[in-house]
Amino acid sequence: MGRAGLEAVDWRSRFWGTNFPGVMFSAAGAVARWIAPFLTFAAVAGLGFLADPAQLGPAPTVRLADDANPLAGMPFYVNPNSSAMRAAQHADPPSPELTAIANTPQAYWIVPGSSAATVAKYTGDAAAAGAIPVLAIYGIPHRDCGSFAAGGLATADDYRGWIDGIASDVGASRTAIILEPDALAMADCLSADQREERYDLIRYAVDTLTHNPATAVYVDGGHLRWHSPEDMAARLNKVDVARARGFSLNTANFFTTADEIGYGEAISGLTNGSHYVIDTSRNGVGPAPDSGLNWCNPSGRALGTPPTAATAGAHADAYLWIKRPGESDGTCDKGDPPAGTFVSQYAIDLAHATG
């Protein structure tokens, strides 16, 4: 997921430079702000983590997206049965890093198979906890173009029926949905007919999922090194992003929050002011040096800003942990664990990395 082009981009200088106060945190600072305060409460699993976590030291400069931000005012939901939670509960000796990661809100990924059958319970549990669940829907046909996370539903009709079921199970719950990571950014791998089918299916998903006014849908828009703002905005407009809340950026990747804000604001200006969210789960020190697979389980990366609706982007609704820290990006042509496999040491390394 999240393949990166290697060309440098210069459009972001039109919006602001890369040294953006209050956004580019070192990993050490980020970890200090949220691991230490949380350890007192580490035994409490399954409760929503505060949307604005306790911090040590000066607070960053922030601005709320606007008064209608659907992700503000409630905590995000923590999955009490996640792989990270199970790893933390069975760690011997106990691992404060795993415990803190497990108790930080992360997206719940819905993929073809049994996970769709859990949507009603998951969103219901979140509502009972007074928290907002974040779902990542990842099942479009020709998913990942046959690469490390290959899969997806077999046909367009299968996909439409799958989306119908998810929408029905979400019901009236207040929910955030990240729709099809990489699908628009990677559409160039498809034939012309397959691309049109993909756009049709994403439009269908946007229309179906937004029947519930409490569902905030963000169509995935890749990241700043993949497509120009103009190109990505055209793709988002083609799938009726105006009918969604907006788009998501940096899913499963490592680009800095400041740079993605510049990219997001540029796209927002070309999509009638659409709002966006940024995956900050592993971007604490930015991306790995350029290489063909620098997005695939790179070493030396770090946890980023914990989930919060207090952001530094005028149209940024939230920073979220969409990719779950510690889960493999795939075999990466080097024998790494399959995509989605939780690796405890990888999670711990992310917590230990420093800027």
Which positions are annotated as active-site residues?
Answer: 144, 182, 329
Distances in Å between the Cα of 355 and the Cα atoms of 7, 28, 122, 321 are 24, 7, 35, 19
Angle between helices 192-209 and 156-170 (to 10 degrees): 20
Concatenate the DSSP letters of all residues of 288-308 into one string: PSS-TTTTSS-TT-B--PPSB
3-class SS letters over 193-223: HHHHHHHHHHHHHHHHHCCCCCEEEEEECCC
Contact 313, 280 (CB under 8 A): no
d(C-alpha 29, C-alpha 354), whole Å: 8
CA-wise closest residue to 265 among 216, 312, 203? 312
Give the count of alpha carbons within 13 A of 135, CB side only.
Answer: 30
Distances in Å between the Cα of 222 and the Cα atoms of 106, 113, 202, 213, 250 are 18, 25, 15, 25, 6
Edge-to-edge strand list for the sheet holding 108-110: 108-110, 134-137, 175-179, 215-220, 246-249, 275-279, 316-320
Residue ranges with strand state E in 84-133? 108-110
| Phi and psi at residue 172, to the nearest 5° | -95, 10
